[in-house]
Amino acid sequence: MTTDTDQSRPQNHDHQELRLVILLLTLLVGLLATAAAVYLARVHPTLAQPLGVGAAVVSALAGVTGVIARIIRR
């Protein structure tokens, strides 16, 4: 009876490059959404202060990105 004891690479590293690409694309889309929100706030200043809107959007995206990264690692 032979047993394969070769555990040189963990199972989670099979798609590590794909996960990184997805995470970077998600961040890029988030930055584009932030830029769009700041632009909208600048064009229509009655909606909100541009930096406040940008900060709120970036904060929300950072939280969502953290949750996504945690789910992908599992």
Whether the per-residue pLDDT at 12 is higher than 70: the answer is: no
Whether the per-residue pLDDT at 3 is higher than 70: the answer is: no
Whether the per-residue pLDDT at 11 is higher than 70: the answer is: no
* Cβ contacts of 70 within 8 Å, gap of 6 or more: none
Mean pLDDT of all residues in 20-44: 84
Handedness of CA 42, 47, 51, 54 (dihedral sign): negative
pTM equals 0.54
> pLDDT at position 66, please?
86
Q: Mean pLDDT for the chain? A: 78
